[in-house]
Amino acid sequence: MFFGSKRQSATRSSVPIAHHESAAGAAAPSTQALTQLLGSLSRSVSHVGRDAAEVRGVLDDTQKVVDAQAQAMAALSGELGQVRQAQQGISRASEQSRQAVQRARQALSGVGDEVGGIVQTLHEVADAASDISKIALQTRLVAFNASVEAKRAGEAGLGFGVVADAVKDLAGKVDGSSKAIMSTLSALDARIERFSIELRSASGGLAQQSAIHQAFAAVEQDVLHIADAARQSEQISASLGARADELAADIQQARGSLQVATACSDRFLKLSEELIEQIAGSGVEVEDARFIAAAQQAAARISALLEEAVARRQISMAQLFDERYRPLAGSDPAQHLTDFVELTDRLFPAVQEPVLQLDDKIVFCIAVDRNGYVPTHNKKYCQPQRPGDVVWNSANSRYRRIFNDRTGLASARNQRPFLLQTYRRDMGGGRFVLLKEASAPITVQGRHWGGLRLAFGF
């Protein structure tokens, strides 16, 4: 019984053991399958993140174009408004000119009447001169007769003869002057009469009008043409202005839609980054793990070097955390100096440059402060700027610059063990490179100084 029982007990106890071994054997493939699944999911999410980053970049480019169009439409609308105001001014000035021409024509009619009165007065003067001439002629005849009679009277009539001769001479002069006046008045009368006719000939057809009235009519017609052209131009400008306002409204709506799309793209991109971080944090080996580890190790070395420099009093904590970014005159894009650039130029290359040799995919490895300021970049990006060559400077002179865009600030201010991001890097001149970036925080004596940014290609 005992042995039988013992054997039976052993048999019973062997069942769970065998079952446990079978379960363990089944669990191993399940863990392996889960790891493979997570690895595959990580790669898929990585590709999704890449697409999301590319979409975000396209949205940014489109946003810039739409913003530029909005500014252009606003400027155009303002210019059209100024054109309309100028055309309204032309219309007012044309109307004033037309009224002035009409007043001038009315004044000419009045002048014509006045000239007619002058002609009548001249006729009266001519008649008076004619009467004077007749009287002078009669006076000459009387004086001539008196002179004859005086000569007949002999010595007694000598004095009277002298007087008669003088009167005769004076009468001759009066007659000559009177005739000269009549001749002058006749010529003046003819000229004034013609002028009066021209001034009064405003009625009738164009062929019957005087030259002066035809000139005024032509001026008035030209003024009317100017006014009509100004009104038509004003209507066209008003129509263009209305269309410009419609386009501006459409552009504003497009800007709003783009902002919504950009926000969605950001959330999508952030979700993909968080998924990769969670997978990597779970211990599953993802394809970006070596870059994450390299960033963390470089950040730890930078932290140690800075703490050592402070301990040796090579720099104070106040200098190390200096945020007084002083612009370098003439730099474009803008470069800045701080109190810690000399220290970082000595310390950082020894950490940053070797990381570049770990993998051909690595584009840069830099330490930035918490505001995205890059005191010391990789050597290949620390070329002196070329005056006036912004495109070359943007690609080759990336040190002493502040990169406070979404990605730059997120990496600079991240205080988690690591951060993984996907984005487009602006290389200048319209060139962009799609990158991933692993970053890890840099701390000095427990204070967050910034972050180590390690960017690599897909």
DSSP 328: P
Give mean pLDDT, residues 15-31: 46
| β-pairing verdict for 362-369 and 373-374 | unpaired
Q: Where is mean pLDDT largest: 36-50, 92-106, 225-239, 439-453?
A: 439-453
Average pLDDT over residues 310-333: 97
pLDDT class of 52 with cuts at 50, 70, 90: low
- Choose between 331 and 214: higher pLDDT: 331
The Cα 44–Cα 276 span in angstroms is 10
Give me the pLDDT at residue 7, please. 34
The confidence score (pLDDT) of residue 9 equals: 35
User: What confidence tier does 27 reach under pLDDT thresholds 50, 70, 90?
Assistant: very low
Q: Where are the domains of the chain?
A: 46-269, 288-456
Does residue 4 register a pLDDT over 60? no
Please choose, from the candidates 58, 186, 33, the residue with its C-alpha nearest in 3D space to the C-alpha of residue 50: 58
Residue 80, Cα to own-chain centre: how many angstroms? 15
Give domain 288-456's CATH superfamily: PAS domain (3.30.450.20)
Instruction: Look at 114 and 206; give whichever has higher pLDDT.
Output: 114
* Residues 146-162: tens digit of each pLDDT: 677 667 776 766 666 66
pLDDT for residue 358: 95
Cis peptide before 29 (omega within 30 of 0): no
pLDDT in tens, 165-209: 777 676 677 777 777 777 776 777 777 766 666 666 655 555 555
Question: Rounded mean pLDDT of 351-367?
Answer: 96
More reliable by pLDDT, 86 or 24? 86
Q: Is the pLDDT of residue 355 over 70?
A: yes
76: burial class by Cβ within 10 Å (0-12, 13-18, 19+)?
middle
430 exposure class (CB count in 10 Å sphere: 0-12, 13-18, 19+) = exposed
The CATH number of the domain covering residues in 46-269: 1.10.287.950
Cα-Cα-Cα-Cα dihedral of 96, 97, 99, 104, to 10°? 140
Beta bridge partners of 425: 433
Looking at residue 357, its pLDDT comes to: 96
pLDDT higher than 50, residue 21: no
Yes or no: say if 207 and 215 are a contact pair by the CB < 8 Å rule.
no
Supply 132's token pair: 């004077």
Highest mean pLDDT among 63-72, 81-90, 252-261, 295-304: 295-304
pLDDT of residue 423 exceeding 80, the answer is: yes
Of the two residues 115 and 394, the one the predictor is more confident about is 394
Q: Which helix (H) or strand (E) holds 128?
A: helix 2-152
CA dist 226 and 231 (Å) reads 9
Given this chain, do its domains 46-269 and 288-456 carry the same CATH topology?
Answer: no
